[in-house]
Structure 1
Amino acid sequence: MTVYLLKGGIVATWTKENQARAFKADVLVEGTTITQVAADIAAPPGAEVIDCTNKWITPGFVDTHRHTWMTIMRANQCDWLLSEYFVKQSWSTQTAVTAAQVRIGEFAGCLEALHSGVTTLLDHFHAANTPEIAEACLAAAKESGARVVWCPARQSPATQVLPHLAFAQEADSARWQLAKLREWGAHGNKLTPDGRVTLGLAYDIGDVGDEKAHQEFIAVARAIPVAAITAHVVKGPRILTYRDRGLLGPDVVLSHCTELDDHQAPDDEMWAALKQSGTAISSTPEDEMGMAHGNPIAFEAVERGVKCSLGVDATSINSGDMFTQMRMALQFYRARQHHKVHVEKLTPPAHNKFVSADAFRLATLGGAEALGLAGLIGTVEVGKLADLLVFDAMSANLAGAADPFRGVVFHASNADIEAVLVDGEFVKRDGRLTKVEWAPVAAELKLRADELRAQFPEDKLEKLWSDYGKLNGDTVDKWVE
């Protein structure tokens, strides 16, 4: 059993008493677990003592909505609208990806997450076109060293885009995906012996398939039981649709939920359904504001006592770190409140209602709560799994910062993360990934990404988008709802 003593650092964490605390302490990690958090801990025999003077020790970040495999398409899609994304990506490029492309996208994406301090991620894997592709994605997640709630999606690839959208493989896809779900979950939701990778289910109820099939998948998933069920919610009233089909519950994470922006009443039926059922929200503010999903509602959820967390979403479009998401969520809420004060001529507040520590909570303990893992991760406390970050507080970004919460949320980047531990194992140390040499991964990622770009050049995708619009008008909007 490996034993590490993180000595002399500043611990910044939320606590089981729901308080934000920053204090000087040593952290003892024995095996996978934090066993002591106190001042001047004596090093046990055989322990490696790690000098954390001028370092901040925090819990790892928890990302509750990430399409990790899409790292293979990085920077291809940053300027697209959501409707454009459906035509150019979901119904075209995504249907043609290979197992090799998905594998390296997933592997590189998980490593990127670890490099940026994301120790746990809910991976909404929505390119399970074949069993081979699904298994390649899962193998990459296992190999990466990240803590992954792996959620293969119940959906089939589009078989035709023009002149009209078609899903001719739906029956076959439903058949093999249900069989694989049963196979993966035959012995519970652990997909690795240590439980670092667990099985979930991504399930977007749409206009494809029938009600019997919908109910069967949910029943099988909950009988396992899967670690989490996740689904997209943008426009609606999809939250009520999910409620009426029995999908809501404490095992469910709904991404975006931007339809709630139009439902501001505290006792609104949709907000009430989420709170009463214990369903969690994953807000992805960078993606939501850029792609016309609607407005982020993270802090509105906090105000109403609805479980909420943060996510990156598609790594082909957005930054892969949680720093961006924390900043955008907090500043968007503040901007909206300031605008309301101005427009309604209200008395200006003396202070901002939500502060940096609140955003930090969304990215750590909030994510753990959303995934039902708050008893295991999300804070730096005795008995928790050792999913930890060590920040260099003397870096160019942080040397002038005294408060770790403000420093992490507003000034830090992944360059400031000196070390990352998952399950007490170093997956990044001295600023470098430890599980694998990055250069060969980068070379393969570039090779496979170039393959896809050659197969789907921008002019080809733009013509598809233009032709689809001419034939179908704005009917693509129904797929956003």
Structure 2
Amino acid sequence: MNEFEAGRPVVLRGGTVLPMSPGGSRRALPRTDVLVIGDTIAAVGPGLEAPENAVEIDASGGLVMPGMIDTHRHMWQTALRGYGADWTLTQYFVWFYLEHGKLFRPEDVNAGNTLAAIEALDAGVTTVVDWSHGLRTPDHADAAADALESVPGRYVLAYGNIQQPPAEWTAAPEFRDFVRRRVTGGDRLGFQIAFDVLGDPSFPEKPAFEVARELGAAVTTHAGVWGATSDDGIRLMYEHGFMTPETIYVHAASLSADSYHRIAATGGSISVSTESEQSAGQGYPPTWAIRAHDIPVSLSMDTSVWWSGDLFSAMRTTLGADRSREHMEAHAKGDTVTHCGLRADQVVEWATRGGAQALGRDDLGVIEPGKKADLVLIKNEHSPVSFPILNPFGHVAFQAQRGDVHTVIVDGRVVKHEHRLLGVDLAAARAQVERTVEHLRSTMGEEAWEKGMNPDIPSAKVLDNPYTYTDYRSDATHRL
């Protein structure tokens, strides 16, 4: 009998459980079992009785936490892992939006999505919002969805198209046809609509919001991106009634207090991509500011073109950036910070239950009976960093890494065990990505390929944001 055959109960024995329950996020349960039956957590407690046919996984000496949730990842770009390590945000815009993004075929989007989905599972990220703004044809969209459905994780396809104005592609019959065919309300593949609001007073994005409202789809938008989106976009959304609790504002790193007030008042949440914000230039990672407004936070990694594809890095860098800003603010006033404002358990919460709240999924991000069985066991008996575990939340945020992910369970199914992925054809994913790289490299030509990866330092200023589809220009994107 297959050890992890479908439907067989699983019990994680004797680990330190981080339940991440509302109101008790700092609570850790030592020497505790978690029983999974079907796709659900059946029981949590010490010495649980399990069905005779249950598979037992030894979690002693390890940490059991909810599966992590990434609310903003451009999965289609993963085939170019590390290619843009030395880019600015402007160079990213130019490469993808103006020069080479159109070279991606449907099979290339599929390759990136497949690899990204596998990578997420390997790192204990059980749910990913695929901010898929490379869907310039229905075939590209189908290829993206096919990839997500082929890997045993949980995903939300955030449909976008950087090659057309949002009012145009959301009105296209083929977009409606895709929604009719592929958005079925399934538990493991959700749907959002992804586009940005540029601040043009004529509000050309309004028809796209109306389509989203008609379809009952949440909107996710890059807000507060220095040089690209500003308070003007937030104000337009607010004045036209399109700011909702389901709206996810990505980055929100260069907004004013007025915009944060509007987000807080309408119940939206912010997806913080700290590695991205502190490197690409959207603005200083904003948790230090948005905490003061009590806005819900989730974490994301943005794109593997630059950064890591795991949320351990996101937690670590977020803590560092927030605390650094707090110290800087204090030093500027001649003061000293004596107590940390942001704690380790809070970033662990943002990486789990925070993402679930942003997606409106109260059945994810916590370890409680009756909730979905999306679980991660962090345990590495071959690593000297695996002990002692004194502060479980501090260990997750500062000590653990993707190589310490021992077991991953999604929807009750064990998809990784003893540090090895199960039911995943990594060789096929590698071959597919290699074909994509060869296609891009040969189509661009070797000189353009090398120049794209190793950009010159220009002597003159280049275009800040080529993602524009009207003649409107404003200095507001350059004012904090």
**TM-score normalised to structure 1 length:** 0.87
The corresponding residue for 1:305 is 294
Q: Is the Cα contact below 8 Å between 2:275 and 2:314 reproduced in 1?
A: yes
Cα offset for 1:386?
0.6
Please tell me whether residue 322 in structure 1 is matched to residue 293 in structure 2. no
Question: Is structure 2 residue 265 aligned with structure 1 residue 276?
Answer: yes
Q: Which moved more, 1:391-400 or 1:128-137?
A: 391-400
State the alpha-carbon separation in 2 of the partners of residues 171 and 55 from structure 1. Answer: 49
C-alpha offsets along residues 175-219 of structure 1, whole Å, 9 cap, x if unaligned? 43xx34433444895454xx100111102234899857x333323
Match of 2:48, SS?
Answer: coil
Structure 2 segments unaligned to the other structure (5+ residues): 1-6, 469-476
| Mapping for residues 80-91 of structure 1, pairs under 5 Å | 80-91=87-98
Counterpart code for 2:66? P
Is the 8 Å Cα contact of residues 10 and 37 (structure 2) preserved in structure 1?
Answer: yes
- Equivalent in the alignment of 1:105: 112
Equivalent of 1:331, from 315, 320, 328? 320
Aligned to 2:177: 183
Query: What is the CA distance between 1:40 and its match in structure 2?
Result: 0.8
Instruction: Give 3-state SS (helix, strand or coil) of 1:314's partner.
Output: coil
- Is the contact between residue 10 and residue 54 of structure 2 (CA under 8 Å) also seen in structure 1? yes
Residue in 1 that maps onto 2:19: 13
**Partner in structure 2 of residue 290 of structure 1:** 279
Work out whether residues 97 and 162 of structure 2, in 8 Å CA contact, stay in contact via their aligned partners in 1: no
* Displacement of 1:435: 2.6
How far apart, CA to CA, are the structure 2 residues paired with 1:126 and 1:426?
31
2:372 counterpart of 1:372: no
Structure 1 residue 307: deviation in Å? 1.1
TM-aligned CA distance change 1:172 to 1:299, over 3 Å: closer
Inter-partner Cα distance in structure 2 for 1:377 and 1:342: 40
1:37-86 deviation line (CA, Å, top 9, x unaligned): 11111112322222222121101111011001111111111111111111
Q: Distance in 2 between matches of 1:463 and 1:49?
A: 50
**What SS class does the counterpart of residue 427 from structure 2 fall into?**
helix
Residue 121 of structure 1 corresponds to 128
Q: Report the counterpart of residue 217 of structure 1 in structure 2.
A: 208
Does 2:239 match 1:244?
yes
Aligned with 2:250 (options 250, 255, 259) = 255
In the alignment, the residues of structure 2 paired with residue 207 and residue 87 of structure 1 have an alpha-carbon distance, to the nearest angstrom, of 20
- Structure 1 unpaired stretches of 5+: 158-166
Out of 415, 436, 452, which is 2:440 matched to? Answer: 452
Q: Which residue of 1 aligns with 2:474?
A: none
In structure 1, what is the equivalent of residue 191 of structure 2? 199
Runs of 4+ in 1 over 6 A off after TM superposition: 207-210, 463-467
DSSP 3-state at the match of 1:49:
strand
User: Which residue type is aligned with residue 250 of structure 2?
Assistant: S
Aligned to 1:58, the other structure's residue is in SS state: strand
Q: What is the CA RMSD across the aligned residues, in angstroms?
A: 2.8
Letter of the structure 2 residue corresponding to residue 222 of structure 1: R
Task: Kindly state the Cα deviation for residue 240 of structure 1 after the two structures are TM-superposed.
Answer: 1.8
**Aligned counterparts of 1:4 and 1:407: Cα–Cα separation in 2:** 25
Question: Following the alignment from structure 1 to structure 2, what is the Cα–Cα distance between the partners of residues 102 and 74?
Answer: 13
Distance 1:335 1:85 in 2: 27
Q: 1:333–1:172: structure 2 CA closer, same or farther, 3 Å change rule?
A: closer
Identity of aligned residues (%): 28
Give the partner amino acid of 1:223. E
Counterpart for residue 4 of structure 2? none
Structure 1 equivalent of residue 396 of structure 2 = 408
Rounded to whole Å, the distance in 2 between the matches of 1:402 and 1:171 is 53
Deviation at 1:139, TM superposition (A): 0.5
Aligned partners of 1:6, 1:362: CA distance in 2, in Å?
Answer: 24
Change (3 A) 1:354 1:173: closer
The residue number in structure 2 matching 1:34 is 41
Residue 474 of structure 1: how far off its partner (Å) = 4.4
CA distance in 2, matches of 1:180, 1:111: 29
Q: Deviations over 1:259-289 (max 9, x none)?
A: 13xx3xxxx3211100011111101010111
Q: Is the 8 A contact 1:232 1:255 kept in 2?
A: yes
Q: Which one-letter code corresponds to 1:118 in the other structure? A: V
Q: Cα distance 1:307–1:189, how it changes in 2: closer, same or farther (>3 A)? A: farther
1:390 aligns with 2:381: no
1:298–1:309 Cα contact (<8 Å) kept? no
CA displacement, residues 110-167 of structure 1 (integer Å, 9 cap, x when unaligned): 110111111111111011111111110110011111211111115435xxxxxxxxx8
